[in-house]
């Protein structure tokens, strides 16, 4: 029995030793044949062209059929402002408007408006407009009266007379205060100097005709009685003779 046990132990030990040897050889072979690892470059993402949808639908372009009608007859012609020869460009000042500029250069407001295509709008300060080269009329400096303010905006349909009436002044005073001279031309949107007082709204009163109420009147019956003429005495310059007044003389009785 002991011999068998010793033989079995030897076999087991031999098997374990064989396994260890085989394992060592396999490890050695794996180390020698292991491939070397090299860094792999990072992949670069491929760029693709992406087409985005248009946010607005493409309108259908109508087919143009050639006709004999000229294009100028279809399209509205823009307003062309013709600047006369000899006119120069000026810069509008802070307190200037069409009226003051027209007076200074001795032209009408209508001509200044049409030549510069202003559409009867006051040019803003700093705007460039065209005027005759040399002013032919020297306008004296004009200033509004004391206490006036530049605040009244001309409304459509207003005139100098109505505006002056609403501020309790005459329209010549309003003309002089705004340097209008003898001109009465104003336009909607124009800013005028006016007295610094509340506006007066003219009261509209209806004139009533006096109604006469018929009253009961007494009817007089005319008097047709005969009027007896009275004696008329006429004064004469002839002296009236004195009338003798008889006097009574008492009689004396005779003595017996």
pLDDT for the residue 211: 47
pTM of the model: 0.32
Q: Does domain 148-195 have CATH number 3.10.350.10?
A: yes
CA neighbor of 146 nearest in space, from 182, 172, 190, 177: 177
Average pLDDT, consecutive stretches of 10 residues, N- to C-terminus, the chain (256 residues)? 75 86 82 58 62 59 62 58 87 88 89 88 90 66 85 93 94 91 88 90 54 49 49 45 49 46
pLDDT for the residue 24: 81
**Residue pair 174/206 in contact by the 8 Å Cβ criterion:** no
The residues that bridge with 90 in the sheet, in sequence order, are 129
pLDDT for the residue 17: 86
pLDDT for the residue 149: 93
**Residue pair 70/101 in contact by the 8 Å Cβ criterion:** no
CATH class of 87-132: alpha beta
CA neighbor of 100 nearest in space, from 125, 73, 72: 125
pLDDT for the residue 231: 43
The residues that bridge with 132 in the sheet, in sequence order, are 87
Dihedral-angle region of residue 106 (phi above 0 means left; psi in -120 to 50 means alpha; beta otherwise): left
pLDDT for the residue 82: 81
- Say whether 148-195 and 87-132 share the same fold: yes
Q: How far apart are the first and last CA of the chain?
A: 262
* Domains in the chain: boundaries: 87-132, 148-195
How is residue 38 written in tokens? 């090299």
């Amino acid at each position: 029995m002991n011999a068998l046990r010793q033989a079995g132990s030897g076999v087991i030990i031999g098997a374990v030793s064989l396994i260890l040897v085989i394992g060592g050889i396999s490890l050695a072979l794996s180390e020698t044949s292991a491939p070397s690892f090299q860094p792999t470059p990072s992949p670069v993402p491929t760029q693709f062209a992406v087409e985005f949808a248009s946010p607005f639908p493409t309108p259908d372009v109508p087919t143009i059929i050639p006709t004999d009608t000229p294009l100028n007859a279809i399209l509205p012609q823009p307003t062309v402002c013709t600047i006369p020869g000899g006119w120069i460009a000026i810069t509008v000042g802070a307190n200037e408007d069409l009226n003051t500029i027209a007076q200074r250069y001795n032209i009408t407001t209508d001509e200044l408006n049409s030549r510069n295509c202003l559409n009867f709008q006051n040019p803003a300060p700093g705007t460039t407009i065209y005027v005759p080269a040399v002013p032919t009329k020297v306008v004296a400096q004009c200033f509004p009266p004391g206490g006036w303010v530049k605040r009244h905006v001309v409304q459509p349909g207003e005139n100098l007379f109505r505006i002056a009436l609403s501020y309790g002044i005459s329209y010549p005073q309003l003309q002089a205060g705004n340097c209008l001279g003898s001109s009465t031309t104003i336009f909607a949107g124009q800013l005028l100097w006016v007295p610094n007082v509340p506006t007066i709204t003219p009261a509209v009163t209806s004139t009533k005709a006096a109604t006469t109420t018929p009253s009961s009147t007494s009817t007089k019956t005319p008097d047709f009685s005969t009027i007896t003429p009275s004696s008329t005495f006429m004064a004469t310059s002839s002296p009236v003779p004195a009338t003798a007044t008889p006097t009574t003389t008492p009689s004396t009785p005779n003595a017996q």
